[in-house]
Structure 1
Amino acid sequence: MQAVTLGPAGTYSHRAARAVADEVAFRESVGAIVDAVIDGDHDRGVVPVENSIEGSVTESLDALADGNVAVLREVVTPIRHALLAQSPDFQLVASHSQALAQCREFLEREYPDRRREAVASTARGVARAREDDSVAAIGHPANATETAPELDVLAEDIQDRSSNATRFLVIGPEDQRSRAGGKTSVVVYPAANYPGLLLELLEAFAERDVNLSRVESRPSGERLGDYLFHVDFEAGLYEERTERALAAVRDVIADDGWVRVLGSYDTEHVVA
């Protein structure tokens, strides 16, 4: 099986994808990954959706709301950041914006005078550091042996929280959506806004003993102040309580609102 994820080789997404597929291809954006799965170019896509320090990956949330795909699996992996460079005399730290944010305290404490630059991925930062001895990168320490032997590991485990972990969702074609699994993800667009709307949506789950593990609003893109909701809950679509909760949600939303069911799935913890 081949999966497509954020590239180039050496990203944390790449490491997560290797846990679910024999072959891994790369795209430069989550939207392109979703399109590759929809078009049938690849069997699976692996996208980061949430980090324990920096929160949700909004690019992924928006792409999942817009694309007709199914969530088939969840992979949770610890994130170990290292500072990689050709020498300690670097002047710039280049990495993905999430990695820079996850190591903010370390950088401010140890290298307060060094500039920081956000790039498309941690692997892009590693590539910059390989080409320029004035640039350091933040990435998995194995990059120094696997993809960038020119770099030294100047410091390991530099993330601000030792519990740093990222959730990745494995996506597939819409017709492969499963009803089995311990978790379910849906996107709800109420197409309305009035006092108590969110309470009514939450009560649809609470009254049926369905525990919500995440609720997040994102702009709908229709107009300013109009939102949709990403909802994860701890129950499978096969369960009667889930069917009743989703039916109640559909009763709340307006005629032009919708509920997109991404699917039920199980969680796997891997060390990438």
Structure 2
Amino acid sequence: MSEESKSHPHRAPSFMAAGAADGGSFEYRLQRTPVGVVILDAARKIRSVNPLARQLLLGRESTTPLYGVDILSLHPEGARAKVGWLIDCARDSADGVASLLVTTPMGSLVAKVTRLHTGPAPANIGYCMMFHAQGELQMGDTGEDGLGPLLKLPLMRGKGGVTTLIDVDQVACLTAQGHYAEAKTLSFTAFCPRPLADLERRLDPLTFVRVHRRHLVNIRHVLAAERDQGRLHLRLADPDSTLIPVSRDKIDLMRRLLAV
């Protein structure tokens, strides 16, 4: 998640209503959008998570167990400081609440953390983290299948956690890296904080083809089809001239699409 603006660190952001009649005020949309909820212990380890929060953190198809996982480990390295800052603000604030307004390709998200007390000792503290999706997700649609095509790809570059948005037609390929992806573009390589399966669903299937379980290739940027140790590979137009393997079950498709 890339940070667009921060609210006051000790309370949730307030927004002016646009009027109940237009049905488009922040308060109206907040009540109609699904909410991702994560319960954390004092060490920021996950104790409970609802389906939407799981989807936002891991992607819709993932079945990875989350109980006991450090919430920071599920975010890109550049975003961990921001998530940690948000939790620390909730821990240290007088009212035990902190929030953050962020922007993702799915739209705006309001991330809110509330401090929970499970006992008298400081160690018996937990947190409730909530994600309000203010983009295109609507009540009853907790998946990404209903979203439109992805026009910009979020890429994280450098240690500062700066998110760059690049036109998807500049991407040569996307490679799965755990729960996220690595993007090779026509000018650089960067980390993409989205699962490969989610990206595949939102990219044009006539242009971005899953040629291998780990690789999604923009066939417009394929320079050559080569044989390497008896297997078909695609040479890409990125600065590294990356060679991507083609799965055996995708060879016929590649031959048809590339006329090779």
TM above 0.5, yes or no, is no
Structure in which a larger fraction of residues adopt helix: 1
